[in-house]
Structure 1
Amino acid sequence: MKTNTNQSKDQKNTKRNFLIISRWGEFLDIAYAILLEGNNVKMYIEDKGSKEIGYGFVPKVQDWKKHMEWADIIIFDYTGYGKVCEELRASGKLVFGGSQYTDRLELDRNFGHSELQKHKVKVLPSKEFFNFEDAIDYVKKNPDTYVIKPCGEIQELKQLLFVGNDDEGLDVIRVLKAYEKTWGNKFGNFQLQRKVKGVEVSVSAFFNGKEFILPINITFEHKKLFPKELGVSTGEMGSSMFWAKNSPIFDHTLKKLEATLEKNNFLGHIDINCIVNGNGIYPLEFTSRFGFPQVFIQRAGINEPIGNMLYKIAKGEKFTINVKKGFQVGVFMVVPPFPYDDKKSFNLFSKDSVVIFKKEVKEGIHPMHLKKVNDEWLITGNTGIALLVTGTGITMRDAQKMMYNRVSNVIVNNSYYRTDIGDRWLEDSDRLWSWGLL
């Protein structure tokens, strides 16, 4: 143990070269934090419409492959890079990212479900479809409440996920018909999954190539656009969370995949979203990468430099993450056209809008799709996600109060955000305790 402690002390004083490969520029906040911790950072963004994100915050590069030899560690922030990660590791590079196996866990829902079943994890009944006509016919013959889950690349459009409420599946049939008219064959394959009632909760952990690093993280996502879970699904409007030394949900899901993750050369972060109730734990889907905004809220609860922590994980070290007690919450501040893709509206209402601080205090303010010009924070990209604002506290109410106090210090023209992030905890925690899941 003394050796590990001394190693950690030495690492904190070491300046390293971090090469960050980002799909959409989502990782800016972490890249900026790593830079401010005294490291060298170079960031590459793949998506053309997101190329401006990060300018003025961190050094940017146009071709990340030209900087591989410079890097002490290479970080991939998204799925789809698994093969590249494996090749780089095989060449001797230190890589934080996925593998071909973990890419498939997330992108191929049917494979993810089959792997859970193989590891003796109970899953909800689901069926894959390749056209709308067959799916509509199936719901008519098997009336029930269903969730429509796009697969493959199309699942990135989070508003297309539809959670039905009608016991006969009539609302799902209407949505399927609408998708057929709008998308046709471009929609690709999708799942219909039986819906069950309960608490939606995710468990996640960092993996060092051999085992999970403790503590684990318990997250409650708020996916709908408006308070009280109204409106379209956005993927995320904010989350509440806490760190735990153990969890029955973790033991029944991710923990069972530990040996398989080691076998498949994974060094990174993995999350599994579940519905839980008095009858059991039902995994829904994997996120075998950083969660957004999950990772930024996690950082708010981590007491050690995040760059050094990611380096230790990529190096395969065993250690315990130094985290805050209590709760962490985070809320997105967004602008038009979020959550939709409308370039004309974005250019008209949001592009180059200035983020104004009433008081020059930026603690708990995490830059998202921004650039910095003359020390001003300007909105860029194309999605309308401006900031994530976090708060921490011994109680959920303390964390919420800190977060919304920080929100009130920020002015972003035409911005909107949810005002109830964390409110569900009071009811959810009671139910989880009663089911023996906390």
Structure 2
Amino acid sequence: MAASNFLFVSADAALITDLAWQVYREGHDVRYYIEAESDRDIGDGFVPKTDDWREDVEWADVVVFDDIWVGSDIGTGALAEELRADGKAVVGGTPTTDRLEEDRGYAMEVLEDHGVATVDHHEFHDFDAGIEFVRENPAAYVIKPLGEVQNVKRLLYVGNEDDGSDVVDVLQAYRKAWGHRMKGFQLQRKVDGVEVAICGFFNGERFVEPVNVNFEHKKLFPGNVGPSTGEMGTSMFWTGRTELFEATLGKLEGWLAAEGYVGSIDLNCIVSDSGIAPLEFTPRFGYPTIALQEEGFESPTGRFFDDLAHGRDPDLRVHRGFQVGVRVVLPPFPFDDERTYDENSRNAAVVFQTPDRDGIHLEDAKRVFSGDTPSGAGRAADGQWRVAGESGMPIVVTGKGETMAAARRQCYDRIDDIVIPNSYYRDDIGERWIEGDGDRLQAWGYLEGPR
């Protein structure tokens, strides 16, 4: 296809850098806007930037929004809807689909309205009311913050005590420490089983096949311990419209079409031999999920998103096997401590011990060239990779193979060839599948395995 003009918009933090870089490397014209001042250097030297995305809307053939947030408020769905009304091709949601992530109670209502059974859940906007509920209904619960503060991932708490006493203790602590910001929370009954997410790309009318099955690893340390993070790594594969898909996202196909949704949508679930329990939506790209999905694309990424945004039926060819992605991070991740970041991470070098860059994906990184190098030289030039932004998440490293074990080996072999002082990462991404999650899901009839 002829080159298209892609405008990537980060209306809050910079998240979509790697996808913009991939599309740029394929020969398309790219402009990237970042709203957050602290993130403005992310992607420098990799993709061309713009200071005013609205000025570039007429130039763009495709506009891509990376998240639902505009600062501390949801809002990219409204922006995307406005642009579509003006005839623009947009990858992004709607005000209603944005609400699926921001308002967890509403998300459960949508599922229930379309015949999807949900976990027992209750919303509270008062800590005392939530504490009283747990005391009157003792059980193990998951605390999920509502609204903007849900982006502080370490506030998600999974209860361990059958009487809910630990949940009461945590809510009392949150009331003191976070009462000024945490305006509400959901208590969701804890369910045991295999945690798995089903993800599909939607073109405004229907889901594109194949669909994606992925397994998130949110805790900081191996063995799934430590504070919750946005994500430390993901394993995945591609498949057809399995029972897991048809029983969840598949039931929302007509609703999403009526909304005019375009883009990636993911539903995380707990699955057991007794059924499927949906947990939460991601009505946008997942991070680092999208980097790992890109790695699996065997058809051009730019063409896929151009077709998706224009409502065409994309030809999506993908890796027939398994994929593993690992987020490599730096202090003080996942916490905020400017002094620690300045001392250990800011502007740190990312050193590659081989010339191979396969499986290396951008997060909070920039590229610095010696001398005067025009921005367009970033298609082929290498330069010095440096840490950018303030979050301490410079890169994601991926691998793929016919088996999960082979994908893990390739991924971690690539990490071994990278030197970033003070960096750390989980070394167990993908092990849950090997140790039995895959066997259980297939025995229960929810998955067919990779196609």
> Do both proteins adopt the same fold according to a TM-score greater than 0.5, normalized to the shorter chain?
yes
396, 410, 421: which one aligns with 1:413: 421
72, 76, 87: which one aligns with 2:65: 76
State the 1:320 CA deviation. Answer: 3.9
**In structure 2, how many angstroms separate the alpha carbons of the residues matched to 1:92 and 1:190?**
38
Match for residue 288 of structure 1? 283
303, 321, 325: which one aligns with 2:320: 325
Q: Is 1:253 aligned with 2:248?
A: yes
Match for residue 388 of structure 2? 380
Please state whether the residue corresponding to 2:181 is helix, strand or coil: helix
Match for residue 297 of structure 1? 292
**In structure 1, how many angstroms separate the alpha carbons of the residues matched to 2:335 and 2:342?**
13
Match for residue 170 of structure 1? 165
**In structure 1, how many angstroms separate the alpha carbons of the residues matched to 2:313 and 2:363?**
31
Q: Is 1:24 aligned with 2:13?
A: yes
135, 140, 145: which one aligns with 1:150: 145
State the 1:47 CA deviation. Answer: 1.6
Match for residue 236 of structure 1? 231
User: What CA deviation, in whole Å up to 9, does each residue of 1:315-356 have, x standing for no partner?
Assistant: 111144101100011000000010011222111110000000
**In structure 2, how many angstroms separate the alpha carbons of the residues matched to 1:368 and 1:404?**
18
**In structure 2, how many angstroms separate the alpha carbons of the residues matched to 1:134 and 1:342?**
33
426, 437, 441: which one aligns with 1:432: 441
**In structure 2, how many angstroms separate the alpha carbons of the residues matched to 1:301 and 1:230?**
29
Match for residue 376 of structure 2? none
Residue 27 of structure 2 aligns to which amino acid in structure 1? G
Residue 284 of structure 2 aligns to which amino acid in structure 1? R
Q: Is 1:371 aligned with 2:366?
A: yes
Q: How does 1:83-122 map to 2 (within 5 A)?
A: 83-122=78-117
Match for residue 395 of structure 1? 403
Please state whether the residue corresponding to 1:397 is helix, strand or coil: helix
State the 1:428 CA deviation. Answer: 0.2
**In structure 1, how many angstroms separate the alpha carbons of the residues matched to 2:230 and 2:28?**
32
Match for residue 39 of structure 1? 28
Aligned residues of 2:199 and 2:212 also touching (Cα < 8 A): yes
Aligned residues of 1:391 and 1:403 also touching (Cα < 8 A): yes
**In structure 1, how many angstroms separate the alpha carbons of the residues matched to 2:444 and 2:224?**
23
**In structure 2, how many angstroms separate the alpha carbons of the residues matched to 1:213 and 1:380?**
34
**In structure 1, how many angstroms separate the alpha carbons of the residues matched to 2:249 and 2:96?**
14
Please state whether the residue corresponding to 1:186 is helix, strand or coil: coil
What RMSD, in angstroms, separates the aligned Cα atoms of the two structures?
0.9
User: What CA deviation, in whole Å up to 9, does each residue of 1:12-38 have, x standing for no partner?
Assistant: xx1111100013211111111111100
Match for residue 5 of structure 1? none
**In structure 1, how many angstroms separate the alpha carbons of the residues matched to 2:123 and 2:295?**
39
State the 1:267 CA deviation. Answer: 1.1
Aligned residues of 1:215 and 1:320 also touching (Cα < 8 A): no
Match for residue 57 of structure 1? 46
**In structure 2, how many angstroms separate the alpha carbons of the residues matched to 1:297 and 1:45?**
22
TM-score after normalising by structure 2: 0.93
Match for residue 373 of structure 2? none
Q: Which runs of 5+ in 2 are unaligned?
A: 69-74, 370-382
Residue 441 of structure 2 aligns to which amino acid in structure 1? L
**In structure 1, how many angstroms separate the alpha carbons of the residues matched to 2:417 and 2:305?**
31
**In structure 2, how many angstroms separate the alpha carbons of the residues matched to 1:429 and 1:247?**
14
Distance 1:74 1:319, change over 3 A: closer
State the 1:246 CA deviation. Answer: 2.1
User: What CA deviation, in whole Å up to 9, does each residue of 1:179-215 have, x standing for no partner?
Assistant: 1111123211110000010000000100011100000
Q: How does 1:144-223 map to 2 (within 5 A)?
A: 144-223=139-218
Please state whether the residue corresponding to 2:180 is helix, strand or coil: helix
**In structure 2, how many angstroms separate the alpha carbons of the residues matched to 1:292 and 1:401?**
22
Q: Which runs of 5+ in 1 are unaligned?
A: 1-10
Match for residue 271 of structure 2? 276
**In structure 2, how many angstroms separate the alpha carbons of the residues matched to 1:270 and 1:256?**
13
**In structure 1, how many angstroms separate the alpha carbons of the residues matched to 2:106 and 2:405?**
40
Aligned residues of 1:301 and 1:328 also touching (Cα < 8 A): yes
Aligned residues of 2:77 and 2:97 also touching (Cα < 8 A): yes
Aligned residues of 1:131 and 1:185 also touching (Cα < 8 A): no
State the 1:425 CA deviation. Answer: 0.3
Q: Is 1:15 aligned with 2:15?
A: no
**In structure 1, how many angstroms separate the alpha carbons of the residues matched to 2:319 and 2:180?**
48
TM-score after normalising by structure 1: 0.96
Aligned residues of 1:210 and 1:262 also touching (Cα < 8 A): yes
User: What CA deviation, in whole Å up to 9, does each residue of 1:393-428 have, x standing for no partner?
Assistant: 000011000000000000001000000000000210
State the 1:137 CA deviation. Answer: 1.2
Residue 293 of structure 2 aligns to which amino acid in structure 1? Q
Residue 401 of structure 1 aligns to which amino acid in structure 2? R
Residue 259 of structure 2 aligns to which amino acid in structure 1? N
Paired residues in the alignment total: 426
Match for residue 423 of structure 1? 431
Distance 1:29 1:319, change over 3 A: closer
